[in-house]
Homo-oligomer: A and B are copies of this chain.
Amino acid sequence: MPTPHYGQPRYHVIADELRERIESGVIPPGALLPPESVLTAEFRASRGTIRQALAVLRKNGLATTEHGRGTYANAYAFSHALSGGSDVQKREREVAADAELAALFGVEIGAPLIEFESVTRKGRNVSAVTRTYRLSSPAY
């Protein structure tokens, strides 16, 4: 693989992508980001480049890294996006599994799932809707 750095350096592009995920709620506040090893695979970047990207997030207050544990998305990032003119509404509800979700979770169609929905608005427009589904009763 060549090393094209048109415009922006890779670590900056990666940092932007991760910031987008944090501010949009794809990575919810307080959640762990994927470990460096996974990020290297996802972005096909070397560990050094990934670490540079994470350093950018830390410097901007979007993430916090703990030795031996991982890198957290900061809750502060949410309010940052809020003050930036976007608005986020959240809600949690119980829904019935459709065929697709049932197949994924290995439950019957109609089985109860917890749906966590996050609606991100910028101005009057909705920019993103994120729905996270989990089993309502723990899998054992």
Contacts and interface: CB of A to CB of B under 8 A. Distances in A.
Interface in A85-120: 86-88, 101, 104-106, 118-119
Contacts of A88: 34, 38
Given A41-B86, A87-B38, A133 B125 contact: no
A27 to B, nearest CB: 10
Query: What's the number of copies of this chain in the assembled complex?
Result: 2
A122 to B, nearest CB: 8
Contact of A134 (B41, B105, B127): B127
A14 to B, nearest CB: 16
Interface of A: 24, 26, 34, 38, 41, 86-88, 101, 104-106, 118-119, 125-135, 139
7 contacts: A104-B119, A104-B126, A104-B129, A127-B134, A129-B133, A130-B131, A130-B133
In the A-B complex, list the 9 residue pairs whose CB atoms are closest, starting with the nearest. A129-B133, A130-B132, A104-B126, A125-B139, A131-B131, A105-B126, A128-B134, A104-B129, A26-B132
